Structure 1
Amino acid sequence: MRFSVLASGSTGNAIYVENDEQSFIVDVGLSGKKMEELFAKIDRSAKQLNGILVTHEHSDHIKGVGVLARRYQIPVYANEKTWQAMSPHIGEIPSDLRYHFNMETTRTFGSIDISSFAVSHDAVDPMFYTFQEDGRKLTVITDTGYVSDRMKGMIAASDAYVFESNHDVGMLQMCGYPWSTKRRILSDLGHVSNEDAAVAMSEVIAEKQTQIYLAHLSKDNNMKDLARMSVTQTLKSCDVIVGEYVHLHDTDANEPTPLVTV
């Protein structure tokens, strides 16, 4: 498998995954025009997609779902409650392109097994995905207020993670957000901080080469350098040394990461 984090952040999210036979995108949180630009930067096209996998109905994850699905006749997969919540916001999707991907299930597409798992976020029924092929595993997990033991069991020993590292707690506490917004972000239905993300990482990574992409960074309450430093230090305190077999990578709200092999 190969993947690229096309965009990650509060302004829009999209993760591209492919093998030699087919390709998928997890969420389409940007406009159709912007998505075309991002695909071009990794020498791919949305018209090649075999499916759109939706995690939840927030606009930074579904903004371009309807546009791409209709333009290129791409099947869209989401659980029933997410379909109900997002349908008013993505326009009409033909019935032959609407598919249900139930929570805590696995669907097989050729040689790729894609499994869904529940997360804790203030959406109607949010879930994320793991991709497995030939003993290799990619996990996408963002938009969760905490990482439960059940989640850890689902994502353990992945070869690559797109892992939320949303905010620095100090920056969030000092920022100009209303207290209600701060409370939401810090809650179990919000987003994980740099430190909490790193603690969860330390409990799921195996002693093998593991690539971790720090994702969904807050544009107001985090910075790439700060996220990397905080995650590195917290992992070290958990006896995981970055650079030995764990490698951290940045993601960006406007630029895709290079297409890499899992």
Structure 2
Amino acid sequence: MTMQFSVLASGSTGNAVYVETAEHSILVDAGLSCKQMDGLFQQIGRNPADLDGILVTHEHSDHIKGVGVMARKYKLPIYANERTWKAMEGHLGEIDIQQKFVFGMEKVKTFGSLDIESFGVSHDAAEPMFYIFRSGGKKLVIITDTGYVSDRMKSMISNADMYVFESNHDIQMLRMGRYPWSVKRRILSDVGHVSNEDAALAMSDVIGDNTKRIYLAHLSKDNNMKDLARMSVQQTLESRGISVGSSFQLFDTDPNKPTELTAV
């Protein structure tokens, strides 16, 4: 069996991505309650008790809300870098020492035929990092929660078969919206979130011959819409000579509904 994945939930209210091979299964973040996470797993026909662990990207609540309860309920290992552990420990409740594992920046962890590589992003958290999954010659990249995509990030994530890629906000909606200016400034900063246009510009530098699907992720519920994100990304890509729908396709993600379990 090839590597498969589902974006269980993505958005301002909570984030989680499920990845599996024939022998192993991993959860990246659990930003919803354990009860909600259980429901999402049910929808894709999988059991969280079968997980090999939870990988944490950073300590913000929309990424760790359910981590502690899930880890205790299903006796799951948790993987995060040292600074993230320090920042989130008070928010997880009591975690057995045997369930705590350090996964450092730009390191690779192997679960059977699945290699997982971590890489740093630019976000206002202790030491935020995301993950590249490789198995059976296929490559899946998860990259959200970054204010910009550096050349170093681009070199690490280039030519993936599939991307879960942040497309957080429409700049005009954000500027005109109800958020206080301090919050707007944070989102627009280099340690905030990438806009639809900036996401597309970064995509245009990393899309390769292998790329088949891009899932637009972490959309702001106040400052973006699925149709707008898709249209903006498509227009920006096509302005750079990259045609959507020929060699690869764009897909939506949802805050409450998992994407179909898909082979990479």
TM-score by length of 2: 0.98
- The one-letter amino acid paired with 1:11 is T
The 2-side partners of 1:238 and 1:247 are apart by 16
Q: 2:103 corresponds to which letter in structure 1?
A: F
Give percent identity, aligned residues only.
66
User: CA-atom RMSD, angstroms?
Assistant: 0.6
Q: 1:175 aligns with which of 177, 202, 206?
A: 177
Residue 131 of structure 1 is matched in structure 2 by 133
Residues 1:40 and 2:42 aligned together: yes
Decide which of 52, 55, 67 is 2:57's aligned counterpart: 55
Output the CA distance in 2 between the equivalents of 1:86 and 1:40. 27
1:247 and 1:195 map into 2 onto residues whose CA distance is 17
Q: Give distance in 2, aligned partners of 1:50 and 1:192.
A: 31
Rounded Cα–Cα distance in structure 2 between residues aligned with 1:75 and 1:245: 38
- 1:1-262 equivalences in 2 (<5 Å): 1-262=3-264
Which structure 1 segments of 5+ residues have no match?
A: none
CA distance in 2, matches of 1:104, 1:51: 19
In structure 2, how many angstroms separate the alpha carbons of the residues matched to 1:57 and 1:12? 12
247-256 vs 205-214, which moves further: 205-214
Deviation at 1:251, TM superposition (A): 0.2
Asked if 1 retains the 8 angstrom alpha-carbon contact of 2:159 and 2:211, the reply is no
Residues 115-144 of structure 1, C-alpha deviations (whole Å, 9 max, x = no match): 000000000100000000121000000000
Find the aligned partners of 2:29 and 2:158 in 1 and give their Cα distance: 22
Moved over 2 A (4+): none
Instruction: String of CA shifts for 1:20-64, please: whole Å, max 9, x gaps.
Output: 101000000000000000000000111110010000000000000
The count of corresponding residues between Structure 1 and Structure 2 is: 262
Q: TM-score, normalising length from structure 1?
A: 0.99
Cα separation, 1, equivalents of 2:58 and 2:260: 25
**1:246 to partner: Cα distance:** 1.7
**In structure 2, what is the Cα distance between the partners aligned to 1:188 and 1:120?**
7
How far apart, CA to CA, are the structure 2 residues paired with 1:93 and 1:21? 26
- For structure 2, the 5+ residue unaligned runs are none
CA distance in 2 between counterparts of 1:208 and 1:100 reads: 32
Report the residue type matching 1:251 in the other structure. Answer: T
Which residue identity is paired with 1:240? I
Question: C-alpha displacement at 1:209, in angstroms?
Answer: 4.2
